[in-house]
């Protein structure tokens, strides 16, 4: 399933008022960052357990650890 479909399905599950607000924010972010990397994390770990709230992302941030390792802040759920 592609990211746009995941986001659309997530937004559709929200109560009307929250869905409308999230959709407005999503549309605004797409206008502000038209070339940003869009991603969705459903909040589940690799074992399917819920570990966080779902997240929609609009870009990439690379974190660098003290030992020199790096990790991208984007991933799909």
DSSP secondary structure letters along 8-59: HHHHHTS-HHHHHHHHHHHHHHHHH-TTS--EEE-SB-TTS-B-S--EEE-S
Query: What pLDDT, on a 0 to 100 scale, did the predictor assign at position 76?
Result: 43
Query: What pLDDT, on a 0 to 100 scale, did the predictor assign at position 9?
Result: 97
Question: Any idea where the domains of the chain sit in the sequence?
Answer: 3-72
Give the mean model confidence (pLDDT) for residues 46-64: 91
pLDDT tens by residue, 9-47: 999 999 999 999 999 999 999 999 998 899 999 999 999
Query: What pLDDT, on a 0 to 100 scale, did the predictor assign at position 60?
Result: 84
**Global confidence as pTM:** 0.76
pLDDT at residue 61 tops 60 = yes
């Amino acid at each position: 399933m592609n990211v746009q479909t995941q986001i659309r399905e997530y937004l559709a599950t929200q109560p009307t008022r929250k869905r409308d607000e999230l959709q407005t924010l999503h549309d605004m972010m797409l206008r502000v960052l038209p070339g940003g990397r869009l991603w969705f994390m459903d909040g589940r770990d690799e074992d399917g357990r819920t570990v966080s709230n779902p997240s929609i992302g609009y870009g990439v941030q690379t974190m660098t650890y003290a030992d020199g390792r790096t990790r991208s802040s984007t991933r799909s759920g």
